Amino acid sequence: MSAPPSPSHPALHYPIEALPEHAHTVEVAPGVRWVRMRLPFALDHINLWLLDDGDRVVVIDCGYATADTRAAWEAVLAADGRPLSRIIVTHHHPDHIGLATWLAARDGAPIHMTQGEFFAAQAVWNQLPGYCIPDMLDQFRRHGLDDSRHDALATRGNAYRLGAPEVPARYHRLFAGDEVRIGAHDWRVIVGFGHAPEHASLYCAALGLLISGDMLLPRISTNVSVYAATPNDDPLGWFLRSLRDLCNIPDDTLVLPSHGKPFKGIRSRVDQLVEHHRERCEVLLAACHTPSTASELLPTLFHARSIPTRSCSQWGRPSPTSTTSRVREHCRGRSTRTA
Ligand SMILES: [Zn+2]
């Protein structure tokens, strides 16, 4: 992501200098603390949030299920000393939901999430039709996946369970527009699309905070992919519409993202991301002067001669092939509408 800041809105800035040390917290607002856990990927960390809730504490997102993350949670929660009142999961990806069931069992705390994310977690974990590896491979084959990458993915198994060894069997359902009372403040649920089926962000007007999950990140662009269950979807279109919805939030709101540092400048960041995707669509359309598969277009979109097999699908989630597919679906829709 290298788009310049928008000239029409205040530039992005990062008002909090210090990163939390491992297994420690940094207060970002009264009663709201930042926890940073390690991830065993190129994207090497995730931000999680602890919110005061009277004599208890609420956890927002849970981390990827490693021994390191479990130990860090034990240290953080022991230092706090209060039991958990609730666990809120923004979406079903394993770095967010991974330890939810483990944390819930600790104090008998309920898990809150949207229905779309609950169902998606169940579908991927249980390898249901449309979300299982064979269906994903069929989709990638239709988009030109070569034999070596196909075979590597076929033999890898369900990587989702590595990061999420359990997923919730029951939950409290969150709806778009819900006001969730946590401690002395209300947090509004903002549902977004394109990254996950029904991603929940949380906005608190009184504190001037947006817990954006993966829907708005300061330095990297969010993964937006087509699932085998819905091969003709336009998740990029949904994602861009969801970004525009976030522009209704005051621009001086402090955004607490799942990756990267807390920042201010929602509109500048949305402008950057919209411009980034517009430019990528233009590049892709220009490359489509001859018929091409999504696989053949990977080097065009990702500026690489070859995409390593290991990056094809990190945890049973869509790969660059499906990312290319979603850009093509978006471009196709856009071309149709403007023709
Ligand atoms: Zn995610």
Distance 289 CA to ligand 1 centre (A): 33
Distance 257 CA to ligand 1 centre (A): 11
The helix/strand/coil state of 34 is: strand
- Residue 313, pLDDT > 50, answer no
Report how far residue 37's alpha carbon sits from residue 106's, in angstroms, rounded to the nearest whole number: 19
Element (H, E) at 322: helix 320-338
Q: For residue 8, is it within any domain?
A: no
The helix/strand/coil state of 242 is: helix
Distance 317 CA to ligand 1 centre (A): 9
Query: 4: burial class by Cβ within 10 Å (0-12, 13-18, 19+)?
Result: exposed
Distance 88 CA to ligand 1 centre (A): 14
Q: Which of 235, 245, 296 lies closest to 270 in space, CA to CA?
A: 245
Q: For residue 52, is it within any domain?
A: yes
- Residue 7, pLDDT > 70, answer no
Asked if 79 and 139 touch (Cβ cutoff 8 Å), the reply is: no
pLDDT band at 311 (very low <50, low <70, confident <90, very high): very low
Indicate the length of the chain as a whole number: 339
Distance 141 CA to ligand 1 centre (A): 24
Q: Which domain holds residue 255?
A: 25-338
* pLDDT computed for residue 316 by the predictor: 41
- Residue 306, pLDDT > 50, answer no
Tokens of 72: 């860090």
Q: Which of 324, 323, 329 lies closest to 296 in space, CA to CA?
A: 324
- Residue 278, pLDDT > 60, answer yes
- Residue 314, pLDDT > 60, answer no
The helix/strand/coil state of 325 is: helix
pLDDT, mean over the chain? 89
> Cβ neighbours of residue 225 under 8 Å, at least 6 residues apart?
235, 317, 318, 319, 322, 323, 325, 326
Report how far residue 140's alpha carbon sits from residue 142's, in angstroms, rounded to the nearest whole number: 5
Residue with tokens 């906005």: 203
Q: For residue 16, is it within any domain?
A: no
Asked if 224 and 193 touch (Cβ cutoff 8 Å), the reply is: no
Residue with tokens 């609950």: 118
**Backbone phi, then psi, for 282, in 5-degree steps?**
-65, -45
* pLDDT computed for residue 332 by the predictor: 58
The helix/strand/coil state of 145 is: coil
Distance 30 CA to ligand 1 centre (A): 27
- Residue 312, pLDDT > 80, answer no
pLDDT band at 130 (very low <50, low <70, confident <90, very high): very high
* pLDDT computed for residue 69 by the predictor: 98
Question: How many domains is the chain partitioned into structurally?
Answer: 1
User: 185-241, pLDDT tens digit by residue?
Assistant: 999 999 999 999 999 999 999 999 999 999 999 999 999 989 999 999 999 999 999
Q: For residue 49, is it within any domain?
A: yes
C-alpha distances out from residue 104 to 99, 109, 113, 166, 301, Å: 8, 5, 13, 11, 41
Where is pLDDT greater, at 112 or 3? 112
CATH number for the domain that contains residue 334: 3.60.15.10
Distance 223 CA to ligand 1 centre (A): 7
pLDDT cut 70: percent of the chain above it: 87
* pLDDT computed for residue 327 by the predictor: 59
Radius of gyration of the chain (CA): 20
Q: For residue 108, is it within any domain?
A: yes
Q: For residue 148, is it within any domain?
A: yes
Query: 305: burial class by Cβ within 10 Å (0-12, 13-18, 19+)?
Result: exposed
- Residue 323, pLDDT > 70, answer no
Distance 339 CA to ligand 1 centre (A): 34
Distance 222 CA to ligand 1 centre (A): 8
Dihedral class, residue 269 (left if φ above 0, else alpha if ψ from -120 to 50, else beta): alpha
C-alpha distances out from residue 6 to 30, 137, 275, 282, 337, Å: 31, 40, 10, 19, 27
* Mean pLDDT of the 304-323 span: 45
Q: For residue 7, is it within any domain?
A: no
Report how far residue 3's alpha carbon sits from residue 276's, in angstroms, rounded to the nearest whole number: 6
Distance 24 CA to ligand 1 centre (A): 23
Query: 338: burial class by Cβ within 10 Å (0-12, 13-18, 19+)?
Result: exposed
Q: For residue 6, is it within any domain?
A: no
* pLDDT computed for residue 319 by the predictor: 52
pLDDT band at 324 (very low <50, low <70, confident <90, very high): low
pLDDT band at 334 (very low <50, low <70, confident <90, very high): low
User: 58-113, pLDDT tens digit by residue?
Assistant: 999 999 999 999 999 999 999 999 999 999 999 999 999 999 999 999 999 999 99
